[in-house]
Amino acid sequence: MRKPRIVILGAGYGGLMTTTRLQKLVGANEADIILVNKNDYHYETTWLHEASAGTLHHDRVRYDIKDVIDRNKVDFIKGTAVEIKTAENKVLLEDRELDYDYLVVAVGGESETFGIKGMKEYAFAISNVNAARRIREHIEYQFATYNTEAEKKDERLTIVVGGAGFTGIEFLGELVNRVPELCREYDVDINKVKIICVEAAPSALPGFDPELVKYAMSRLESKGVEFRIGTPIKECTPEGILVAKGEDELEEIKAGTVVWAAGVRGNAIIEKSGFEAMRARVKVQPDLRAPGHDNVFIIGDCSLIINEEINRPYPPTAQIAMQQGEVCARNLVSLIRNKELEAFKPDIKGTVCSLGDDDATGIVFGKKMVGTRASFMKKMVDNRALYKIGGASLVLKKGKFKVF
Ligand code: FAD
Ligand code: NAD
């Protein structure tokens, strides 16, 4: 009898967690497992702000997928999925087609521009390794060019970060540590550098504990960040951004670099493939399958699950994507073995927001913490993710061990 074929799209937190768990649970003759990913490496999306600011080399945030999969049980295909034909149980890759019996969609999120004019064209988004490398190099280029021009353009040294959510704040934390290094390297007066964070909501880190938000803002302000809170960005141009000022006025902020960190949506393949979705995120059933598609699981940033306590969606995080991966693997095995599927319930252990590699603010197991203690905890969280996917050897290879 033909073995069922399981295809997993995406080797991020959700996809790799599903694959590494599945390869342990499934017998060699029970199923064919195929993992498809754009690159032959996995990157830690949660570390991309560091690679973008240049505080961590991009090779430190990625590792070879082949190092963590059991090649006797999993076939890896380097490829980009462009559409899922659910009626035909088929995935179209750029250069071939793949049939499946069971499918896991774990292709992550994309930057949400909310249709703001010029954002796609002129702003950078911290979305993958290629994007992170470009941001780092663009900022370096601005510093390197500053002193070479007869008429110095100070706005070259202005960096605008759009959005003071977790991504924006974590990127700022790295940036304030990187800028003094850049100033030394390129003989630039640090007083000429401006780092401006523009946030539409009435507070940074909306919804987070106010005491911890205050800590984050004051630490960043003390290192030179100027916050423009309650100020929606309305447009991005080659010269900078336009923000709302009063009822119907706009103000221009000139900047050599604009980094847009104002939210995420699911992967475009979700909408292209005809799944019913909100901002390309599918409200999945409790067992993580897409409604109406009994052989398709959707996990990670492409999925939407509701926090019943507040009747609002959980924010998409690596923490949830990894937990979904574990349940998804078990549910795939149950489907193959004709057993009952289990319901997914997130177990939120906490949230820590880094402020550079030596500082952080967060809540872990209900306890608030800031400073080096929180920063240590953040590194433990990062190392734990490596451990869960690649075991102790991956932690030794890629882990964060800075001691204060
Ligand atoms: P990802 O981990 O992003 O992986 C998606 C994978 O799919 C990638 O390997 C990609 O190359 C691949 N892919 C994409 N499209 C295709 C395609 N068409 N075909 C084939 N392959 C494809 N969350 C936390 O819990 N804690 C944090 O501290 C944290 N920090 C963050 C910091 C930053 C800077 C950012 C941007 C996000 C952070 N998040 C954090 C959120 C977290 O990173 C995401 O929620 C998580 O990565 C989602 O996991 P995923 O498996 O859905 O997608
Ligand atoms: P987000 O949606 O959490 O924050 C985006 C911010 O941009 C919000 O504060 C929003 O008010 C603001 N914004 C939206 N439109 C704007 C506009 N026009 N002008 C100015 N500001 C605007 O998005 P994110 O920070 O990219 O995070 C994405 C996901 O990743 C979230 O679920 C987050 O929890 C998760 N994440 C977690 C961590 C962590 O746990 N340490 C770190 C990074 C990201």
Residue 357 in any domain: the answer is: no
| Cβ burial 52-79 (10 Å sphere, 16+ → b, else e) | bbbbbebeebbbebeebbeeebbebbeb
Of 262, 278, 313, the residue that ends a domain is 262
CB 200 less than 6 A from any atom of ligand 2: yes
H/E stretch holding 318 reads helix 318-336
Tokens of 260: 């847009």
Q: In 3-state terms, what secondary structure has residue 196?
A: strand
Q: Are residues 282 and 314 in the same domain?
A: yes
Residue 169 in any domain: the answer is: yes
Task: Give the residue from 24, 87, 25, 34 showing the smallest Cα distance to 273.
Answer: 87
Of 331, 348, 365, the residue that ends a domain is 348
Q: Are residues 250 and 128 in the same domain?
A: yes
Q: Are residues 172 and 258 in the same domain?
A: yes
Pocket test for ligand 1, best of 41, 45, 126 (most atoms within 8 A of CB): 45
Q: Are residues 13 and 85 in the same domain?
A: yes
Q: Are residues 192 and 210 in the same domain?
A: yes
Residue 387 in any domain: the answer is: no
Q: Are residues 123 and 258 in the same domain?
A: yes
Tokens of 38: 């754009």
- Domain span at 153: 119-262
Residue 14 in any domain: the answer is: yes
263 C-alpha vs ligand 2 centroid, how far in Å? 4
Task: Please tell me the predicted confidence (pLDDT) of residue 248.
Answer: 87
CATH of the domain at 89: 3.50.50.100
Could you tell me if 69 and 35 are in contact, meaning their C-beta atoms sit under 8 angstroms apart? Answer: yes
45 C-alpha vs ligand 1 centroid, how far in Å? 5
Task: Give the residue from 327, 233, 301 showing the smallest Cα distance to 17.
Answer: 327
**For residue 354, which atom of ligand 1 is closest to its CA?**
28
CATH of the domain at 170: 3.50.50.60
Binned average pLDDT, 10 residues per bin, the chain of 404 residues: 94 98 94 98 98 98 97 97 98 97 98 97 98 98 96 97 98 98 98 98 97 98 98 98 92 98 97 97 98 98 96 96 98 97 96 97 97 96 96 96 74
Q: Are residues 11 and 22 in the same domain?
A: yes
Residue 31 in any domain: the answer is: yes
Of 262, 289, 321, the residue that ends a domain is 262
Could you tell me if 122 and 237 are in contact, meaning their C-beta atoms sit under 8 angstroms apart? Answer: yes
Q: Are residues 126 and 241 in the same domain?
A: yes
How far CA 43 is from CA of 15, 129, 205, 322, 388, in Å, comes to: 12, 7, 25, 14, 15
Residue 388 in any domain: the answer is: no
Task: Please tell me the predicted confidence (pLDDT) of residue 403.
Answer: 67
Q: Residue 27 and residue 337: Cα distance in Å, rounded?
A: 11
Q: Are residues 138 and 256 in the same domain?
A: yes
Q: Are residues 144 and 191 in the same domain?
A: yes
Which ligand places an atom closest to the C-alpha of 38? 1
Q: Residue 26 and residue 40: Cα distance in Å, rounded?
A: 23
Q: Are residues 183 and 195 in the same domain?
A: yes
Residue 70 in any domain: the answer is: no
Q: Residue 44 and residue 42: Cα distance in Å, rounded?
A: 7
Q: Are residues 227 and 331 in the same domain?
A: no
Residue 250 in any domain: the answer is: yes
Task: Please tell me the predicted confidence (pLDDT) of residue 75.
Answer: 97
Residue of minimum CA distance from atom 12 in ligand 1 = 10
259 C-alpha vs ligand 2 centroid, how far in Å? 12
Number of domains in the chain: 2
**For residue 299, which atom of ligand 1 is closest to its CA?**
52
